[in-house]
């Protein structure tokens, strides 16, 4: 009875093992019916699947990081280019206005020089009559004085220049002597200087924005070329360098003034 039971169990195991298995010969069989090599194969396959899944996760992570960097760089580069163009226009307009003001200053200065020459000629005519003792010549010359010249002439006469050795050499040296065109020339010169300085600063700001745009273009290049590297470490290195350049560019943008209105 016991012998039949043992032989029956061997037959059932042999049927489960296959036709090539002989009764009475036991081999390494797991409770699930897999041999040791098959178990090792399954473990290896599982390890490869896990590695592939891990690689896919890393690839997705890198792709997401690259997409975010590209999106951010594209927006910042567009803003930087726009600001550079606006500041460049502001510089051109300010420098043009400075040139126009300088031209007005030169014109006013030339008119002032002509007025001074006219005043000198009129005074010389009066002085010639004064030296000759010709009161009619003095009166005629005095009538030809410019209205703005008369207050200075009367103030000079009040100092008794004929007898006062400390008197001014002529009316042109008196504080009352004013030439409006000279004051206008000084005002235009000051305006031109201010506009030129403003235009120069705007040009420098535009150059700084262009420099930031170049940095951002470098980030685009690095992120774009990093996707062609099959070595994951190289891709991480390229993305890291691009990220550092991006941070530096953002800091530079925050320090610059916004685009002019």
Gap between the Cα atoms of 250 and 149, Å rounded: 63
Tell me, what's the pLDDT at 251?
A: 94
Tokens of 235: 């891709």
Residue 91 or 5, more confident: 91
Q: How far is CA 28 from CA 34, 96, 141, in A?
A: 9, 96, 139
* pLDDT at residue 102 is higher than 80: yes
pLDDT tens-digit series, residues 64-94? 888 888 889 989 999 999 999 999 999 999 9
Tell me, what's the pLDDT at 185?
A: 94
Query: Residue 114's CB: how many other CB atoms inside 10 A?
Result: 12
* pLDDT at residue 192 is higher than 60: yes
Kindly tell me the burial class for residue 53, based on how many C-beta atoms sit within 10 Å of its own C-beta (0-12, 13-18, 19 or more): exposed
pLDDT tens-digit series, residues 119-139? 999 999 999 998 888 989 989
Range of lowest pLDDT (20-29, 105-114, 192-201, 240-249)? 20-29
Gap between the Cα atoms of 77 and 90, Å rounded: 20
* pLDDT at residue 11 is higher than 60: no
- Output the average pLDDT for the chain: 81
Average pLDDT score over residue span 107-124: 94
The pLDDT confidence band at residue 236, using thresholds 50, 70 and 90, is: confident
Gap between the Cα atoms of 215 and 253, Å rounded: 11
- 144 neighbors 122 (Cβ within 8 angstroms): yes
* 164 φ, ψ (degrees, to nearest 5): -100, 110
Residue 41 or 168, more confident: 168
Residue 237 or 28, more confident: 237
């Amino acid at each position: 009875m016991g012998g039949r039971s043992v032989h029956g169990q061997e037959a059932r195991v042999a049927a489960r093992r296959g036709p090539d298995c002989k009764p009475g010969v036991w081999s390494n069989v797991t409770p699930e019916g897999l041999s040791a090599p098959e178990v090792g194969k399954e473990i290896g396959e599982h390890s490869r699947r896990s590695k592939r899944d891990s690689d896919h996760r890393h690839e997705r992570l890198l792709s997401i990081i690259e997409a975010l960097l590209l999106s951010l760089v594209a927006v910042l580069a567009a803003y930087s280019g726009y600001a550079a163009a606006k500041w460049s226009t502001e510089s051109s307009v300010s420098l043009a206005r400075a040139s126009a003001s300088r031209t007005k200053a030169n014109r006013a200065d030339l008119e002032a020089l002509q007025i001074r020459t006219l005043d000198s000629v009129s005074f010389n005519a009066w002085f010639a009559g004064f030296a000759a003792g010709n009161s009619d010549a003095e009166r005629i010359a005095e009538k030809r004085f410019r209205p703005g010249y008369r207050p200075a002439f009367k103030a000079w006469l009040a100092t008794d220049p004929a007898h006062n050795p400390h008197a001014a050499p002529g009316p042109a040296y008196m504080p009352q002597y004013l030439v409006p065109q000279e004051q206008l020339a000084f005002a235009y010169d000051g305006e031109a200087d201010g506009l030129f300085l403003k235009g120069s600063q705007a040009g420098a700001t535009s150059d700084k924005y262009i420099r930031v745009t170049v940095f951002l273009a470098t980030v685009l290049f690095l992120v774009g070329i990093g996707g062609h590297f099959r070595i994951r470490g190289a891709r991480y290195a390229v993305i890291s360098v691009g990220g550092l350049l991006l941070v530096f560019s953002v800091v530079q943008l925050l320090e610059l003034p916004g685009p002019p209105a």
